[in-house]
Chain A
Amino acid sequence: MERMQEVVGRARAAFNSGRCRSLEFRMQQLKALERMVQEKEEEILAAIKADLHKVGHNAYSHEILGVLGELALAMDKLPSWAAPQPVKKNLLTMRDEAYICLEPLGVVLIIGAWNYPFVLIMQPLIGAIAAGNAVVVKPSEISENTARMVADLLPQYLDRELYPVVTGGVPETTELLTQRFDHILYTGNSTVGKIVMAAAAKHLTPVTLELGGKSPCYIDKDCDLAVACRRITWGKYMNCGQTCIAPDYIICDPSIQSKVVENIKATLQEFYGEDVKSSPDYERIINKHHFRRVLGLLEGQKIAHGGEADEASCFIAPTILTDVSPESKVMEEEIFGPVLPILTVKSVDEAIEFINRREKPLALYVFSNNKKLIKRVISETSSGGVTGNDVIMHFFLSTLPFGGVGNSGMGAYHGKHSFETFSHRRSCLIKDLKMEGTNKLRYPPSSQKKVGWAKFFLLKRFNKGRIGLFILALLGIVAAVVIKVSFG
């Protein structure tokens, strides 16, 4: 296992050499990544298909389009993101330079997940490179084709010492986590999230944990059910339900439950045809272990639709469960599969209470024509993010920070938030070595008079606005002179 120490050590030495700090270098690496995605599109799609049975168009939309968008954004905005930010000064620091410097953290570790194996490595990687760090990339070994592809391709396009790819399973990852990093971004489940954070704690390494949970989906009686169910069907069954922000379960009034089922069934027909198994657009469960896990959740449940499964191909049909009990197994863990339980509640109050009794989810969905109701659900619950009247879509707006809260994670990224996650905001105050006069009021020996002046200079009793600032400046100069005279 000495290999891990070597790899990380090399990345650190490369970072310390300073070459990844210049904006030109970062842009060059980002451009290289863009070229890689464009030139090797076929290989990338083939790897994803091999792992998840995902057809090219789908894989492109889900994994490549987003990456190209993030790359374009980062390259466009990097100069402005990386520029020092001047800050508001007070009377005492009026003549000084005060700003926040955006600096790289050092060597960061990105651990990917298997469900969107390419984009969940690439999006953080883009932010980390843009912020000027060295990055150790650890794709998930469960999506083994994509892991191999990433390990093959990245070194062909990026600086090999600064951005090494490490492959392997649990033992390799455990060894990797004993090394010291300056930030770790992990995408996966809460159990491993705790292990990652505990390992990070040994080195006081900040972490971003993109975890999961059961994302609730509340459907109000007052809503266009056909539209709502079509959107929910899309979000639930994409990638065979293996999406961290998939609507995990539905809560609705008992009077609309059967209509919901009918609408979803109709949509499934539209999307995948009569025989889902032969639709090229329907994916598969990643492996036998998860296949058995998801199938197990169906035990003892009322299956309103679906339920067919084939272990050989890890196929599970889009399934709907009705009248599900909150205590059942399917309501205990994140489903991460094409099984949609429906629970009934008699009011939005009950729905809110139900949601709040459980761990905070990564996403929360609410469908209603009543804007006030949507606002209420958002205000009275907590979650990583929210989409109202649709599902998944808040993920695709990069100006929104994407991340969890509580059990669903900590920290956020996407767009500029990625850059900030992987940057250190260093406060800088540069004073003049002269102008010692005003300093005298803070030096001992002290006196009540000095305390009075200190109060004057520090307490912000003045309003903002041009005139206020001008008067403030004038008073400042007067004060400086008076102090020089009385204490000089």
Chain B
Amino acid sequence: QPLFEAEFSEILLCKNELHETLNNLSHWMKDEHVHKNLVTRLDSAFIRKDPYGVVLIIAPWNYPIHLLLVPLIGAIAAGNCVVIKPSEITKNSETLVAEVLPGYLDNDCFAVVTAGVQETTRLLENKFDYIFFTGTSCSPSVGRIVMTAAAKHLTPVTLELGGKNPCYVSDTCDVQNVARRVAWGRFFNAGQTCIAPDYVLCSAAMQENLLPALHKAITDFYGPNPRESPDFGRIMGDKQFQRVQALLRSGRVVIGGQTDAEERYIAPTVLVDLQPSDPIMQEEIFGPILPIVIVANVDEAIDFINSRERPLVVYAFSSDDKVVNQVLERTSSGGFCGNDTLMHVTLTSLPFGGIGNSGLGKYHGKFTFDTFTHHRGCLHRNMGLEALNALRYPPYSQQKLGIIRVASEVKRKDACTLL
């Protein structure tokens, strides 16, 4: 991973989360007192933030530190013990985590488990009180396996999965800015980002303008030969390289397309002349390839998006607010970002997560703390004033009911339930 990208995603964003948590933890932990109804007016009613117990965090290989630390921060903040399973594919990060974490954290409460696929399957047979799983491409199927294992113990889960994030570019926009923002999001970490724009939807006319703009952006970013740029990443592992390389066969290469198996290098590539049925349009790309699919207008783009599984994020670019809002309102996705890519995850006040095949649950900032917290409804009543309870006790009578009905009708506006 290029240094800047690593610094940005793995370190800066994690520090942000730590600061946010440290600044606010005592407030988040406090009992949350709630509005009371007539009957409970004299009682103490609050939501207690309890830890779940022992939670399992499974991290993926694409941002091996960030996607391990950010959930870990919330799990610790919420008072849980944590079993941490870093990805076995990024060997260096895995070793680093296994060696470094025990030096800083309590060894009984927080354990690192290094495990491949088989051992992870065995790990999942144990009972946990919460499982937090982040997958990479092809993750919906692994997500199902994790949730099925969790079901055996009635363990709640958060699944951060993936999908094909569509990127609609309308005809009215500043093409060069769009090209830069889309290229940045697509080629960051050599495309191995769950929220990367997976494919572009635009009109044939816009494609004409977008291609040279994309070419310029790529050259500005990585120079004429991206292979020599220290800022462009590589594909993680031979298996992934072969998978992504095979996707190049769809459509026609107009920018890039060069590969080198030894370095696991795939050039920043743009493809055109694609059919919705092409292989590259069937799976999350998770590589530095940007296919462009032609649609006649925004309605066709929206229909296209809605005919597919709900993605982690929908992107829409337009200088016309109305167009951006239309795409937002008529589609469904984990999150939405208008006129940029990736940036919605830098705001810790926005919940991050998927919907449908792209996942369930959400985190970042306080949402991570809430994810790992059992919100326990508590009512602490008075032993006195027993006379008021008489209304609820048998023997029941029309009279008692009458009083109850009247009392609750008066309070209907305040939405109170009186018993």
Contact = CB atoms under 8 A, between A and B. Distances in A.
A-B interaction: yes
Of listed B39, B359, B360, B404, residue having the most chain A CB within 10 A? B360
B417 interface: yes
B107 interface: no
A268 to B, nearest CB: 10
A397 to B, nearest CB: 5
Interface residues of B, number: 116
Interface in B125-164: 129, 140, 143-144, 147-148, 150-152, 154, 156, 159, 161
Interface of B is mostly: mixed
A477 interface: no
B123 to A, nearest CB: 17
A436 interface: yes
A224 B389 CA distance: 15
Contacts of A292: none
Contact of B379 (A101, A400, A415): A400
B335 A427 contact: yes
Contact of B376 (A60, A100, A386): A386
Interface string A444-459: 1111001100110011
Contacts of B346: 90, 92-93, 458
Interface stretch (B94-102, B250-258, B395-403): B395-403
Given A204-B143, A206-B360, A378-B48, A433 B395 contact: no
Contact of B394 (A279, A432, A446, A450): A279
A397 B40 contact: yes
A89 interface: yes
Interface in B82-107: none
Nearest to B325: A430
Given A92-B343, A460-B16, A271 B393 contact: yes
Nearest to A385: B377
B36 interface: yes
B52 A446 contact: no
B380 interface: yes
B177 A433 contact: yes
Nearest to B401: A57
Contacts of B232: 444
Contact of A424 (B229, B332, B347, B417): B332
B383 A458 contact: no
Interface of A is mostly: mixed
B82 to A, nearest CB: 17
A161 interface: no
18 contacts: A65-B408, A69-B408, A88-B347, A93-B346, A197-B154, A198-B152, A200-B151, A202-B144, A384-B376, A385-B377, A393-B379, A426-B333, A428-B335, A429-B347, A430-B339, A431-B339, A444-B221, A455-B12
Interface of B: 2-5, 7-8, 12-13, 15-16, 19-20, 23, 34-37, 39-40, 45, 47-48, 50, 52-53, 129, 140, 143-144, 147-148, 150-152, 154, 156, 159, 161, 173-174, 177-178, 180-181, 184, 220-223, 229-232, 306, 317-319, 321, 324, 328, 332-340, 343-344, 346-347, 349-352, 355-357, 359-362, 374-384, 386, 389, 392-398, 400-401, 404-405, 408, 412-413, 415-419
Given A194-B154, A209-B154, A439-B180, 19 more contacts: A61-B404, A68-B408, A68-B412, A87-B349, A204-B357, A227-B383, A230-B389, A270-B393, A394-B377, A396-B37, A397-B45, A400-B45, A405-B376, A426-B336, A430-B321, A436-B180, A446-B3, A454-B12, A461-B19
